[in-house]
Chain A
Amino acid sequence: MPDLRIEATINGRKIARNAKPHLRLLDFLRDDLGHTGTKEGCGAGECGTCSVFVDGVLLKSCLVPAAKAQGTRIETVEGLAKAGELSVLQQAFHKAGASQCGYCIPGMVMAATAALRANPFADREEIKERLGGNICRCTGYQKIFDAVELARDVQNGRRPASALAEEDAADGAFIGVNVRRLDAPSKVSGALKYAGDMVMPHMLHMAVLRSPHAHARIVSIDTSEAEAMDGVEGVITAADVPGVDGFGVFVHDQPIMARGKVRYVGEQVAAVASEDPLIARRALSKIKVVYEPLPAVFDAHEAMKAGAAVLHDYAPDNIVKHIPIRVGDVAKGFAESDLIVEETYSTQQVEHAYLEPEAGLAYVDADGVVTILSPSQNITHHRHMLSRIIAQPINKVRFIMSPVGGGFGGKEDMVYQGMLALMAMKTRRPVRVVFTREESIITTAKRHPSHTTYKMGLTRDGRIKAVEIKMISDGGAYGMSTEGVMRKAAILAAGPYAIPNVKVDTYGIYTNNTPSGAFRSFGALQTQFATETHLDICAEKLGLDPFEIRRVNAMRDGASTHTKQALKSVSLTRALDAAEKAARWEPGVPNMRGATRGDLNGEGTRPSCTLGARLAAAASPKTSEVA
């Protein structure tokens, strides 16, 4: 197809450009015009990071063909204020602390701008509704609502412009003060470049071939047809690894690309680089991989049984790690208990869903240093691993951490940086990879799902005499952070309570599922969900207030932990007191007393959300007229 001719007005300037007909407006703005403030988060209109105005209408530019830009007036985040300045709304985001990783923020600023254009007096509930098409994974939205309300009031003259200005900090004391985020202006304006926004001269684009099988032997890989394609500059497989292959946070069990066999669906098998990302993707289909499917296992309990499919030769029992914690004698503790409560708990696999999909840029510099720029949460460890993998001394490997568009633990694994390094070494050109949302979701680590059996013995006055906790967790196909997650889950499992008899076992297990890895709160979320729910059940059975049962058992200053560590200061009872007071908690037994509570619906709650209530209210006067 011939190129398109696009003439449009973008941020007040007329442009006339030829463009490839397959481009989306998002690609045209970012790749052809360099407006990288408009981000890609999902490519499917679900997240809102790519929001722009087309003829004044807020649209998700990933859903708009570039051809539709012809003759339109487009505004991107870069055009909301004069160069070097910020709009009132952008200033309000800065003031309110509404940006964290910043990746959703340009889209959020656009949606908020649209909200206040649509209704300059929108109240908080309407603002929430109007931002409903934009996902933020960091902030919890509250400071974003605060920012939009602040901007609204300044624009309406209800609050002075000085409300946006710097007024924090004084007298040289800066610790303990709400200093405004120094990185916020770059985020609210879209100026900050994430790895996927960066380009280098003569840069190649890399695409990755992935396993369609959960467990299969690789009989052969034939890349010759792909390598012969016009425009293909390099193809790599595990055969290109010059050193000792293998990475992982605790055990180096994962090859840069599948070696000999694949262990989960989506595992990287080969990669192609080309100046044209489309050619790189097309070339993937020319790589011929012959697989011999192997028996697979998809359940952690099944994987622990004799005869189950084995993923890694070094772990014939499929156990990544077992962590035991032992204090006292639980049998004795249960014997001394008046009440024994048993329950099982389970938690699901969860995706980090940072708005910035994985992206990176690698090159070999003039001194032969293999350099990788990526939003990695652990460049120090990546440097060590890559140096072994490419058989280069540490000082010939350089990792640069680019701004991270959300991590939450999901960017601690070196899942694509090794491929980038190999491709840059092979082609001697800069190479960039940007994952699609689907690649990001199906190929990177998740929060460990868990299955926990729980037994607690207590005396009538609520004192915990013994707990026995066993958690089985599906670690998926590779070790990643499983060992550490099991350790933290075990240490913190029984909660911040002084318990004389404790038996905890956590097991991380290999299966052919998507790997599990590091995720904010790292195993402690799973085990403490069980403990804190269990305590509520026990409190009901014993007729105790839930704060009371926690106070009775709370660790205090000088307490010994379940790993027999002596603590100095323990703030738990202060936290309990403060929470009880802040929530104006009405004491009582947790026996379904919701209907009779007197502490509901007070300060600190939001109105119940009824979708469309605003529209119904707006429509109702007419209805009443008719009536």
Chain B
Amino acid sequence: MAKKRGRGVAACWYGIARTATVDRAGAWAEIDDGGTAKIVTGVTEIGEGILTVLAQIAAQELGVRPQDVTIGDNDTARSPEAAHAGATRQTYMIGNAVALASRQARAALVDVLAKHWSVDNQSIKTAAGEAWAEGTNHKMPMSDAVHLAKARGVVPVGSASFGTDTTGLDPVDGSGRPWQAYVFGCQVAEVEVDTLTGEVQVLGIWAVHDVGRAVNPRGVEGQIEGGIVQALGQGLMEDYRTVNGHATTPNLAKYILPTSLDVPHVTSVILEDPDPLGPLGVKGIGEPAMIPTIPAVMNAIYDAVGVRITSLPATPEKVLEGIIARTAKRNINRVAAE
């Protein structure tokens, strides 16, 4: 048969946030007029969905709805430092900073409400745009609660910083605490290899990743699916080439990327092993999602056709060369045996 299938597995681990240095992020929060909220922090989407994640965190912590939250622009002159958008750090570092700042802003509002209703601070609950005192009939929309606070001379604001307890590496043996949160994962790949052309199609990936706590499960899936396809690009086709320093793949006609026809079905399984150190238990997913894909696919190619790819990418030419070499070797053995 010209097409052969196989499966392979690979695991991974990854550290969350900046490596072997102290990481930190700051955030400001305000419960605003009309029961809305403002979160200001040095963060902007790079596509992963962090703005929505932060709005969810702020909404839950403050007691408003995500659509009520405005996230201020990332601007070194207008917002507190939250450092860079990378290192699988945004949900972990900035998410935790926003949670802490939101708790402080909420505490200012709760003080006012507790006095107003003559109840304990602990009995005040806020959720989805309403505030109430548990075990009483006292209840009001957040818009009224903010109005009340302002009438008492209080603007409910908070600010917080979240930092890591990490160290550099020893220059001789590398010992140290590079991260305070680690994630683990495992993927299985199923491939089909065309033995006439060497072309590999990845038909399915089952991806399990620990994210600590998923703030937005669909967003986590999006990161896993996107990471896997990016890894497939490197695994099977992408190859930036230079000759004497001159790029020979300087455009998207020469530099080949995965399209809608190249992608497998991805089944994501989200594992939650909460981070014990941060206030939310969240960790991250952006980078680790792509790590097991390539070895899982290469191991699956071996399972299918017995060709061990140790040099990326596994182009059709390379796979076919491996198949031909195997066949030739088998024939030689057969002749030798005869």
Question: What would be 28 A-B contacts, judged by CB atoms less than 8 Å apart?
Answer: A46-B253, A138-B226, A174-B56, A323-B169, A346-B311, A377-B85, A379-B74, A379-B84, A383-B76, A411-B46, A490-B174, A492-B13, A522-B287, A524-B291, A525-B291, A529-B295, A536-B8, A536-B9, A563-B177, A565-B176, A565-B178, A583-B9, A590-B302, A594-B303, A597-B303, A600-B5, A601-B203, A606-B264
- Closest-CB distance, B161 to chain A (whole angstroms): 14
Contact of A441 with B251 at beta-carbon distance under 8 Å, contacts A175-B57, A412-B84, A594-B5 already known: yes
Contact residues of B with A, CB < 8 Å? 3-15, 19-20, 42, 44-49, 51-52, 55-57, 59-60, 63, 65-67, 73-77, 81-87, 126-128, 169, 171-178, 182-188, 190, 192, 201, 203-204, 206-210, 213-219, 221-222, 224-231, 233-234, 238-242, 244-247, 249-253, 255, 257, 259-261, 263-267, 269, 271, 273, 276, 280, 286-288, 290-292, 294-296, 298-300, 302-306, 308-313
Contact yes or no, A496 B11, CB < 8 A: yes
Contact yes or no, A351 B46, CB < 8 A: no
Q: B244, B263, B266, B313 — which one has the most chain A CB atoms within 10 A of its CB?
A: B263
- Closest-CB distance, B37 to chain A (whole angstroms): 12
Contact yes or no, A378 B85, CB < 8 A: yes
Which residue of chain B lies nearest to A184 when distances are taken between CB atoms in the complex? B52
- Closest-CB distance, A268 to chain B (whole angstroms): 15
Task: Report the separation of the CA atoms of residues A605 and B238 in the bound assembly, to the nearest whole angstrom.
Answer: 23
In the assembled complex, A338 has its CB within 8 A of some CB on chain B: no
Contact of A605 with B204 at beta-carbon distance under 8 Å, contacts A179-B216, A565-B177 already known: yes
Task: Report the separation of the CA atoms of residues A512 and B227 in the bound assembly, to the nearest whole angstrom.
Answer: 30
Q: Which A residues, 514 to 564, have Cβ-Cβ distances below 8 Å to chain B?
A: 514, 518, 520-522, 524-525, 528-529, 531-533, 536-537, 546-547, 550, 554-555, 561-564
- Closest-CB distance, B178 to chain A (whole angstroms): 5
Task: Report the separation of the CA atoms of residues A194 and B4 in the bound assembly, to the nearest whole angstrom.
Answer: 45
In the assembled complex, A307 has its CB within 8 A of some CB on chain B: no
Contact of A605 with B190 at beta-carbon distance under 8 Å, contacts A298-B242, A520-B287 already known: yes
Residue from B45, B77, B175, B233 in contact with A395 in the complex, judged by beta carbons closer than 8 Å: B77
Contact yes or no, A522 B87, CB < 8 A: yes
In the assembled complex, A137 has its CB within 8 A of some CB on chain B: yes
Contact yes or no, B294 A350, CB < 8 A: no
- Closest-CB distance, A10 to chain B (whole angstroms): 27
Task: Report the separation of the CA atoms of residues A379 and B77 in the bound assembly, to the nearest whole angstrom.
Answer: 11
Neighbouring B residues of A375 by C-beta, 8 Å: 46
Contact of A605 with B7 at beta-carbon distance under 8 Å, contacts A345-B310, A525-B291 already known: no
Neighbouring B residues of A514 by C-beta, 8 Å: 240, 242, 245, 247
- Closest-CB distance, B43 to chain A (whole angstroms): 8
Q: What 1/0 flags go to A257-272 for Cβ under 8 Å of B? A: 0000000111000000
Residue from B46, B246, B264 in contact with A404 in the complex, judged by beta carbons closer than 8 Å: B46
Contact yes or no, B174 A571, CB < 8 A: no
- Closest-CB distance, B56 to chain A (whole angstroms): 4
Task: Report the separation of the CA atoms of residues A531 and B10 in the bound assembly, to the nearest whole angstrom.
Answer: 9
Task: Report the separation of the CA atoms of residues A514 and B255 in the bound assembly, to the nearest whole angstrom.
Answer: 15
Neighbouring B residues of A400 by C-beta, 8 Å: 73-76
Which residue of chain B lies nearest to A595 when distances are taken between CB atoms in the complex? B4
Contact yes or no, A609 B261, CB < 8 A: yes
Residue from A348, A380, A487 in contact with B83 in the complex, judged by beta carbons closer than 8 Å: A380
Contact yes or no, B185 A575, CB < 8 A: yes
Task: Report the separation of the CA atoms of residues A47 and B210 in the bound assembly, to the nearest whole angstrom.
Answer: 33
Contact yes or no, B303 A182, CB < 8 A: no
In the assembled complex, A433 has its CB within 8 A of some CB on chain B: no
Q: What 1/0 flags go to A315-347 for Cβ under 8 Å of B? A: 000000001111100000000000000011111
Which residue of chain A lies nearest to B225 when distances are taken between CB atoms in the complex? A140
Contact yes or no, A139 B225, CB < 8 A: yes
Contact yes or no, B261 A380, CB < 8 A: no
Neighbouring A residues of B294 by C-beta, 8 Å: 525, 529
Neighbouring B residues of A371 by C-beta, 8 Å: 77
Neighbouring B residues of A173 by C-beta, 8 Å: 60, 127
Task: Report the separation of the CA atoms of residues A101 and B219 in the bound assembly, to the nearest whole angstrom.
Answer: 12
Task: Report the separation of the CA atoms of residues A623 and B266 in the bound assembly, to the nearest whole angstrom.
Answer: 37
Contact yes or no, A528 B214, CB < 8 A: no
- Closest-CB distance, A45 to chain B (whole angstroms): 9
Residue from A42, A139, A590 in contact with B222 in the complex, judged by beta carbons closer than 8 Å: A139
Q: A298, A576, A579, A592 — which one has the most chain B CB atoms within 10 A of its CB?
A: A579
Contact yes or no, A404 B85, CB < 8 A: yes
Contact yes or no, A532 B260, CB < 8 A: no
Contact yes or no, A344 B310, CB < 8 A: yes
Q: Interface-forming stretch among A76-84, A125-133, A218-226?
A: A125-133
- Closest-CB distance, B194 to chain A (whole angstroms): 9
- Closest-CB distance, B38 to chain A (whole angstroms): 14
Neighbouring A residues of B247 by C-beta, 8 Å: 265-266, 441-442, 514
- Closest-CB distance, B314 to chain A (whole angstroms): 11
In the assembled complex, A388 has its CB within 8 A of some CB on chain B: no
Contact yes or no, A570 B182, CB < 8 A: yes
Which residue of chain A lies nearest to B14 when distances are taken between CB atoms in the complex? A524
Neighbouring A residues of B76 by C-beta, 8 Å: 379-380, 383, 397-400
Neighbouring A residues of B229 by C-beta, 8 Å: 139-141
Residue from A533, A562, A604 in contact with B310 in the complex, judged by beta carbons closer than 8 Å: A533
In the assembled complex, A593 has its CB within 8 A of some CB on chain B: yes
Neighbouring B residues of A41 by C-beta, 8 Å: 252
Neighbouring A residues of B42 by C-beta, 8 Å: 379-380, 401
Contact of A178 with B216 at beta-carbon distance under 8 Å, contacts A491-B178, A532-B10, A608-B192 already known: yes
Q: Interface-forming stretch among A12-20, A23-31, A142-150, A227-235?
A: A142-150
Task: Report the separation of the CA atoms of residues A605 and B267 in the bound assembly, to the nearest whole angstrom.
Answer: 9
Which residue of chain A lies nearest to B310 when distances are taken between CB atoms in the complex? A345
- Closest-CB distance, A436 to chain B (whole angstroms): 9
In the complex, besides A177-B216, A579-B206, 17 extra interface pairs with C-beta distance below 8 angstroms are: A46-B251, A47-B252, A97-B219, A128-B261, A129-B261, A132-B260, A142-B225, A182-B67, A350-B239, A406-B46, A442-B247, A488-B15, A522-B19, A532-B295, A536-B8, A600-B190, A608-B3
Q: What 1/0 flags go to A75-118 for Cβ under 8 Å of B? A: 00000000000000000000001001110000000000000000
Task: Report the separation of the CA atoms of residues A513 and B45 in the bound assembly, to the nearest whole angstrom.
Answer: 31
Contact of A546 with B230 at beta-carbon distance under 8 Å, contacts A179-B216, A437-B251, A579-B269 already known: no
Task: Report the separation of the CA atoms of residues A492 and B185 in the bound assembly, to the nearest whole angstrom.
Answer: 13
Residue from B127, B174, B226, B233 in contact with A100 in the complex, judged by beta carbons closer than 8 Å: B226
Contact of A101 with B287 at beta-carbon distance under 8 Å, contacts A592-B302, A600-B7 already known: no
Task: Report the separation of the CA atoms of residues A47 and B256 in the bound assembly, to the nearest whole angstrom.
Answer: 11
Contact yes or no, A140 B227, CB < 8 A: yes
- Closest-CB distance, A365 to chain B (whole angstroms): 9
Contact yes or no, A351 B240, CB < 8 A: yes
Closest 8 CB pairs of A and B: A172-B127, A101-B47, A214-B245, A594-B6, A140-B225, A532-B295, A140-B229, A325-B174
- Closest-CB distance, B262 to chain A (whole angstroms): 8
Residue from B81, B173, B226 in contact with A324 in the complex, judged by beta carbons closer than 8 Å: B173
Contact yes or no, B75 A574, CB < 8 A: no
In the assembled complex, A237 has its CB within 8 A of some CB on chain B: no
Residue from B46, B49, B126, B242 in contact with A377 in the complex, judged by beta carbons closer than 8 Å: B46
Task: Report the separation of the CA atoms of residues A13 and B287 in the bound assembly, to the nearest whole angstrom.
Answer: 45
Task: Report the separation of the CA atoms of residues A25 and B77 in the bound assembly, to the nearest whole angstrom.
Answer: 38
Which residue of chain A lies nearest to B243 when distances are taken between CB atoms in the complex? A298
Contact yes or no, A172 B267, CB < 8 A: no
Neighbouring B residues of A134 by C-beta, 8 Å: 259-260
- Closest-CB distance, A5 to chain B (whole angstroms): 33
Contact yes or no, A174 B65, CB < 8 A: yes
Neighbouring B residues of A576 by C-beta, 8 Å: 11, 186
Which residue of chain A lies nearest to B9 when distances are taken between CB atoms in the complex? A546
Task: Report the separation of the CA atoms of residues A353 and B250 in the bound assembly, to the nearest whole angstrom.
Answer: 11
- Closest-CB distance, A390 to chain B (whole angstroms): 14
Which residue of chain B lies nearest to A566 when distances are taken between CB atoms in the complex? B177
Task: Report the separation of the CA atoms of residues A533 and B12 in the bound assembly, to the nearest whole angstrom.
Answer: 12
